[in-house]
Amino acid sequence: MTRPPLSSLDGADYDVIVIGAGAVGCASARQLAGRGFRTLLVDRGDIGAGTSSRSSRMLYSGLGYLAARYPLWQMPFRPADMIRRLLYTRDVMHCRAELVRDMPGHLTKHRFHYPFRKGDRYPPWLVDLGFRLVEALDGWRVPLAYRRLAPQQAADESALAAALGGPLRGVGVFEEYMYAWPERICVDTALDAERRGATIRTYAEVTGIAGEGGDWQVTLDERAPEAQGQARVRARMVVNAAGPWIDRVPGGGTGRRRVIGIKGVNVMVRLPQAFRGQGLEAFSRKGEPYYVFPWRDFHFIGPTETEVTENPDDIRVEQAEIDYILAEANHLFPDLRLTRADVQHCWCGVRPTSTRDGQMTSLPVEVAEDTDRPGLLAVTGSTIMLHRHAARKVARAVEKRLGRRGPAPEGVIPAPQTHDEGIGQMAAREHVVRLADLIRRRLPDGLDPDLGRSRAEELSHIATASLNWTDARRQDELRHFVEDTARVYRQP
């Protein structure tokens, strides 16, 4: 199938243009198209290839959001903050329940552990209370099944708990979900938006946004290989959902910094087979949340949290970050003695954290409309977990300006059915432009231990037949896939 030239969009007119096909942009396009708005979703690369493919892949329970970073004794003196945290945690738990209900094929359920030690910042009774409160805030729709066990009892039940270094006061055990494949959440959401009437154009970079007679004119530049061109499209409103790049979209800025980037690194290792499928939530010695996430036969550990100002395109995993993560793992599990040689690969991303008055505010999802530039919205602060919540906020802000057109879309988004004989059709139907799009974000191969390398040659032939590539293009795509995999997933 041949991709239409970008110029086919030139002069097109929409109600809303959504910039960025990450989790938030895809869900926003779905909400808007479902409510009857003529919607264009664009990304300078592939669907779900930005931050949404660099996360820790976890559908958090809300406990971390309840936990304030100031000393416990200050809590009664900050009632407004506590109420904000409770409301936010309730939203988080609603989103958790919604994803468990509507995307069951995209999630896997796991047993997680929370170690208690003497001198912890949060005493066991408070953590017990926190877990119960978090469950109650959601009306027990997706229970966490939290229990606090004595160290020996926990060790008898689980090899991971048995391997924890002492002295332990107890171990909390609860159920958490991981996204089986976050990139596919984005792709399936975008395809559902398309079914509801949205137009999708990937590899189209927004290079300008200018006001025009009360509307907005958006300039798009072609970024797909072997293609060129430009299009100018018009819309009543623009939703800037470019994640950590929000302040870098040309013409989309306001001079005010809307996101603070928090870099996070995760490290994939093979832990003992008896740990398979089990995870850990703890605090590092720096006092930062620290996790061991189960991932198929492996585990990954992290993330770090570092504020960054450079372009998220330029950030890479540093050796010191890998060493820090391994040192913390060895502190928690002294017998593991992990070294760099145990690391399969690692990756990093930048969280688009909202700002308020120039300061980082980690809690709310913000949908802000600049008073000087009416109709230009920016959405910040959403996790993958909250992407539907963020999208509903976007849709309400659009309705406020353009009026209500139709009901909000509901319902299950189907998990992908990928049979080998259908890969060619999938490549043609699902906006695949590059081989890496097919391997990493349409098929599950890209998250295999070999990161999809072993099937790359075979899949390149299928893509070639389906997308009418020449053999020279196929070779280029293979080279690009190898280089891009090495860029995204560092091997120490």
Ligand X SMILES: Cc1cc2nc3c(=O)[nH]c(=O)nc-3n(C[C@H](O)[C@H](O)[C@H](O)COP(=O)(O)OP(=O)(O)OC[C@H]3O[C@@H](n4cnc5c(N)ncnc54)[C@H](O)[C@@H]3O)c2cc1C
What pairs with residue 279 in β-bridges? 112
For residue 348, what are the contacts with CB-CB under 8 A and spacing of at least 6? 54, 263, 264, 265, 266, 315, 316, 317, 321
DSSP bridge pairs for 360:
355
In what helix (H) or strand (E) does residue 176 lie, and over which residues does it extend? strand 168-179
Q: Give strand pairing partners of 380.
A: 366
Please select the residue that binds ligand X; options are 31, 52, 354, 464, rule is CB under 6 A.
52
Of the residues 65, 112, 146, 245, which one makes contact with ligand X according to CB under 6 A? 245
- DSSP structure string for 277-324: TEEEEEE-TTS-EEEEEEETTEEEEE---EEE-S-GGG----HHHHHH
**Using rule CB under 6 A, residue 20 touches ligand X:** yes
Establish if 172 lies at the interface with ligand X (CB under 6 A).
no
CA distance 451 to 444: 9
Nearer to ligand X, 279 or 375 (CB): 279
Q: Least distance from C-beta 390 to ligand X, angstroms?
A: 8
Q: Which of residues 369-388 bind ligand X (CB under 6 A)?
A: 382-385
Tell whether residue 110 is a contact of ligand X (CB under 6 A): no
Residue (44 or 236) nearer to ligand X, CB: 44
Stretch binding ligand X (CB under 6 A), from 52-60, 61-69, 109-117, 132-140 = 52-60
Position among 350, 376, 413, 459 found at the interface with ligand X (CB under 6 A): 350
Q: Determine which residue in the list 264, 279, 294, 375 makes contact with ligand X, applying CB under 6 A.
A: 264
Nearer to ligand X, 178 or 427 (CB): 178
CB nearer to ligand X: give 349 or 446. 349
Q: Measured from the CB atom, is 158 or 189 closer to ligand X?
A: 189
Position 423 contacts ligand X (CB under 6 A): no
- Judged by CB under 6 A, the number of residues near ligand X is 38
* 23 makes contact with ligand X (CB under 6 A): yes
461-469 contacts, C-beta under 8 A, 24 or more apart: 462/423, 462/424, 462/427, 462/438, 463/424, 463/427, 463/432, 463/435, 463/438, 465/424, 466/1, 466/423, 466/424, 466/425, 466/427, 466/428, 467/1, 467/3, 467/427, 467/428, 467/432, 468/1, 468/2
Does 56 interact with ligand X (rule: CB under 6 A)? Answer: yes
Q: Which two tokens stand for residue 76?
A: 């009664």
Paired tokens of 195: 């079914």
Smallest gap from Cβ 369 to ligand X, in A, equals 17
| Stretch in the footprint of ligand X (CB under 6 A) among 136-144, 348-356, 401-409, 464-472 | 348-356
Question: How far apart are the C-alpha atoms of 325 and 338, rounded to whole Å?
Answer: 10
Residue closer to ligand X by CB (options 196, 263) is 263
Nearest to 45 by CA among 206, 223, 312: 223
- Give the residues lining the site for ligand X (CB under 6 A): 19-25, 42-45, 49-52, 54-58, 205-206, 241-245, 249, 264, 303, 349-352, 382-385
